[in-house]
Amino acid sequence: MPEITAPVTTPSFISQISKPFLRDRMMHLLLAVAVVLSTLSPHPFPEYLAWVDWHTIATLAGMLLLTTGIEASGYLEHLGRVIINRLRQERALAIFLVSASTLLSTVLTNDIALFVVVPLTVGLTGISNLPIGRLVIFEALAVNAGSLLTPIGNPQNILLWQRSHLSFADFTWQMAPLALAIFALLLLATWVCFPKQVIHADLKDDATSYSVALLRTCGLLYVAFLAMVELGHPGLGLVGVGIAVLLFCREIIAKVDWCLILVFILMFVDIHLLSQLAFIQTWVAGIPQLTPRKLYAAALLGSQVISNVPATILLVQYSTAYKVIAYGVNAGGFGLAIGSLANIIALRMAPERHLWLRFHLYSFPFLVLSGLIGWLLLSSL
């Protein structure tokens, strides 16, 4: 008698959309903080909406939608598999993965870069005893280094770009010295920490696993959306992208982590509510009087305490020294894992347990060195 197998059921659109909201502990924590603080100091609902930088949220939403489409096309993973299969040394493999993570994070944001590169790395498990955990750690460091270069590399840069009203090129130019210096350090560390051991990778590739058409569609929309953001119309750009996605590639909508948008909205609300507490007000009242060096230190150390995105949201309320803040919060992405959401994403995707301690053995030297480099660069102005 033939074996009866249960039919494979595809999750509904609603369940795919809602699943991240049910599982995201950070969102739950931020929501709980907002509820508690609102109970202590209630405000009319329109005030909560006014606290949110909607230009930043629109920019983040448009980029999240399109970069998810580029990731979902599978073409970048296909390209990565082709290149990895041709590499014959562990050191060459590490340099490729670190460089790819850095480059992708400059244009696809740091978390999307990890969603592309880390699965490729995990797929190498068991090949020539490769140190998969160490590779993932270096990829986390790489996306922090690469994402700081451009205004679209990470959420804090998106916010600072919108507030500073700099052009894409001008923002990138001001961040280039710090980004290039840290990337040079990262390449040196990669060269030292990975030997020339011979490897033979054989990742399977399937021509049906990627879609050039989806990559092309999302890539063209991505360029058009960035042009609208550059012109100062992220909201209109988001509407246009939304319509185009519905018409040409609606399947990616369910794959987007929309919960991330709510997380950043809640960050704006929580930071505003926290800054109104008496003991917090005593501290933040002095931020406008901070010298550039002290503001830089506050951004750097603040990122180690509350992560770099909340630190940015807090500091831009009281200071317009956006370059100083940008240097501080981006250098602050190293150090403790909490310094950047990308660190946590990478460590959670790694197959090895107990990787957190080893991560800090590498990340703290980078915090010290990148912090010192940023300090020297700002002091030379």
Residue 379 pLDDT > 60: yes
How confident is the model at residue 26, as a pLDDT? 85
How confident is the model at residue 5, as a pLDDT? 52
User: For residue 92, how many other CB atoms are within 10 A of its CB?
Assistant: 15
Rounded distance between C-alpha atoms, residue 140 and residue 111, angstroms: 9
Rounded distance between C-alpha atoms, residue 178 and residue 19, angstroms: 38
Contact (Cβ atoms closer than 8 angstroms) between residue 15 and residue 231: no
User: For residue 85, how many other CB atoms are within 10 A of its CB?
Assistant: 14
How confident is the model at residue 128, as a pLDDT? 64
pLDDT band of 4, cuts 50, 70, 90: low
How confident is the model at residue 7, as a pLDDT? 52
In whole angstroms, what separates CA 270 from the centre of its chain?
Answer: 20
Least confidently predicted of 110-124, 163-177, 262-276, 341-355? 341-355
Which one has a higher pLDDT value, 85 or 96?
A: 96
User: For residue 14, how many other CB atoms are within 10 A of its CB?
Assistant: 9
What share of the chain in percent tops pLDDT 70? 96
How confident is the model at residue 370, as a pLDDT? 97
Q: Whole-number mean pLDDT of the chain?
A: 90
How confident is the model at residue 10, as a pLDDT? 60
How confident is the model at residue 1, as a pLDDT? 47
Average pLDDT (103-122) is 93
Rounded distance between C-alpha atoms, residue 219 and residue 235, angstroms: 19
Rounded distance between C-alpha atoms, residue 256 and residue 245, angstroms: 12
How confident is the model at residue 312, as a pLDDT? 96
Residue 205 pLDDT > 80: no
What sections of 53-193 are H helices per DSSP?
A: 54-72, 75-84, 90-108, 110-122, 132-147, 155-164, 168-193
pLDDT in tens, 274-326: 888 877 888 888 899 999 999 999 999 999 999 999 999 999 999 999 999 99
Residue 361 pLDDT > 80: yes
Least confidently predicted of 88-102, 129-143, 150-164, 272-286? 272-286
How confident is the model at residue 278, as a pLDDT? 79
Residue 240 pLDDT > 60: yes
Average pLDDT (92-100) is 95
pLDDT in tens, 68-87: 999 999 999 888 988 888 88
